[in-house]
Amino acid sequence: MQVIRSLDSEDLERFSDGSIVTIGNFDGLHLGHRMLLDDVLKQARAAGLPAVVMCFEPTPLEFFSPQSPPARLMRFSEKRKALEEYGIDVFCCLDFDVQMRSGSPDWFIQEVLVKLLNVKGLITGDQFRFGKDRAGDVEDLQKAGEKYGFQVRGMASLESDGTTVSSTRIRNALSSGNLQRAAELLGQNYRMSGEVIHGNHLGRRLGFPTANIDPDRIHVALVGIFAVRVTGLGDDTLEGVAAIGTRPTVGGTKMLLEVHIFDFDEDIYGREIEVEFVEKIRDELNFPDIDALIEHIGNDVAAARKILANLAGS
């Protein structure tokens, strides 16, 4: 999959005949996103053109509210990997900066869609807005398509149980501990991935060694203790218990994902792993002392083993 990060990209030969494009945040790649991607891939393959997903970094909401944006479901690298696995040909992720924020709808159409991507087909959600002050909409795109020679389709949002499938609903489900509902909207259990980094080795000293991952986002969508599955360390899916939070009992302040993998004792620093959140066990708590923490970790391990064993036997 080709990745484009700039309007000045020189590697644009594959767009000489045009492209089929969709635009959005695609945070989490939920079922509604997948509906869009399926349509883009179908049209692109039929036309013999590259399928392009366009996003922005930072997201527009992060640009306008840098201190209090919504929790990210996916980091850039997670989104890139997921789109590549889905079969997308080009991930066009442009900087959302002052120029992008202040550009008129006409500027965006001409400079980004026509000049950069040579768009021949554009598929968006029917509520898509773009340009300065979100002044552009699907109707404006359709008028531009008549002028520049590209087709536009605005797709209605996907619904599940009478509600719109959206990243916001997934964030709400995760933050409330309703992992089952989040999985229904995502089409799979929620996952986070990252490189295993060195910590302070407290878990090993307490008898529960952990693989630590920096979530690398302003806010995380879920906090607490969870039964998890881990992939990326060979062919087998491993099981464990994970804590994501600031570790208040030991005076922690930075958000960290710590995973204790059952019956596993290998050096995996620098390895990339994916953590699948299966079920929430409890909220993060501030214990009075280390002994109380150790006792609760033992209880969490037992609870996670039971949850995962029950699922395996069902």
Walk me through the domains of the chain, giving residue ranges and CATH numbers. 2-163 (3.40.50.620), 190-313 (2.40.30.30)
Residue 10 has what pLDDT? 65
Q: Which residue do the tokens 């552009």 mark?
A: 136
**For the chain, how are helix, strand and coil distributed in percent, rounded to 5?**
35, 25, 35
Low-confidence ranges of the chain (pLDDT < 50): none
Kind of pairing between the strands at 119-125 and 151-155: parallel
Full-model pTM: 0.91
Which tokens sit at 215? 């979530």
Residue 285 has what pLDDT? 87
Spell out the residues 6+ positions from residue 12 whose beta carbon is closer than 8 angstroms to its own: 4, 116, 118
Which tokens sit at 116? 């950069």
Residue 107 has what pLDDT? 94
Residue 204 has what pLDDT? 73
As a whole number of angstroms, the distance between CA 73 and CA 212 comes to: 18
Residue 61 has what pLDDT? 84
Spell out the residues 6+ positions from residue 233 whose beta carbon is closer than 8 angstroms to its own: 261, 264, 266, 268, 271, 273
Residue 290 has what pLDDT? 86
